């Protein structure tokens, strides 16, 4: 019976050692699988992050171009408004110059008429005084 116990004990010990070896192998394989999965996950996350960064760069570049185009459009609109207002101011200035010329011409005619009137008055006074002098001389 002692031999049977030794055989059973040896068999149990063998089973235990085999189970222990199997557990070590499973632990090692699990460790390798976790490491591989973690590495894949890190690489995948890194790739996804890189993709997101690239997409963000592309969107930012697109928005910058849109902003440049809008700014250029607004500059052109502003130039058109400035040109239009410049022409309006030129037209108004030309109109005011014509009005001023008309006023100057009118006032010049008034001054000429007043001067002619004063010349006539002066001539009349000179004629009158000449007649007085002649009368006094005779």
Range of the domain at 4: 1-109
Residue 48 is predicted with a pLDDT of: 92
User: Residue 121 domain-assigned?
Assistant: no
User: Residue 135 domain-assigned?
Assistant: no
Q: For the segment 12-36, what is each residue's pLDDT rounded down to a tens digit?
A: 778 777 888 888 888 898 888 889 8
User: Residue 83 domain-assigned?
Assistant: yes
User: Residue 134 domain-assigned?
Assistant: no
**Whole-structure pTM value:** 0.44
User: Residue 104 domain-assigned?
Assistant: yes
- Tally of structural domains, the chain: 1
Residue 70 is predicted with a pLDDT of: 96
User: Residue 118 domain-assigned?
Assistant: no
User: Residue 27 domain-assigned?
Assistant: yes
C-alpha span between 94 and 100 (Å, rounded): 10
Q: Tens digit of pLDDT per residue, the chain (138 long)? A: 677 777 888 777 787 778 888 888 888 988 888 898 898 889 989 999 999 999 999 999 999 999 999 999 999 999 999 999 999 999 999 999 999 999 999 999 999 999 999 989 889 888 888 888 888 876
User: Residue 17 domain-assigned?
Assistant: yes
């Amino acid at each position: 019976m002692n031999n049977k116990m030794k055989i059973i004990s040896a068999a149990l010990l063998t089973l235990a050692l085999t189970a222990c070896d199997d557990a070590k192998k499973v632990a090692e394989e699990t460790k390798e699988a976790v490491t591989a999965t973690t590495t894949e996950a890190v690489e995948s996350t890194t790739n996804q992050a890189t993709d997101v960064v690239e997409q963000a760069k592309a969107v930012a570049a697109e928005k910058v171009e849109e902003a440049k185009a809008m700014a250029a459009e607004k500059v052109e609109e502003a130039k058109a408004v400035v040109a239009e207002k410049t022409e309006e101011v030129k037209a108004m200035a030309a109109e005011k110059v014509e009005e001023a010329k008309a006023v100057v011409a009118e006032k010049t005619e008034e001054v000429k008429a007043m001067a002619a009137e004063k010349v006539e008055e002066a001539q009349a006074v000179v004629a009158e005084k000449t007649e007085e002098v002649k009368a006094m001389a005779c």
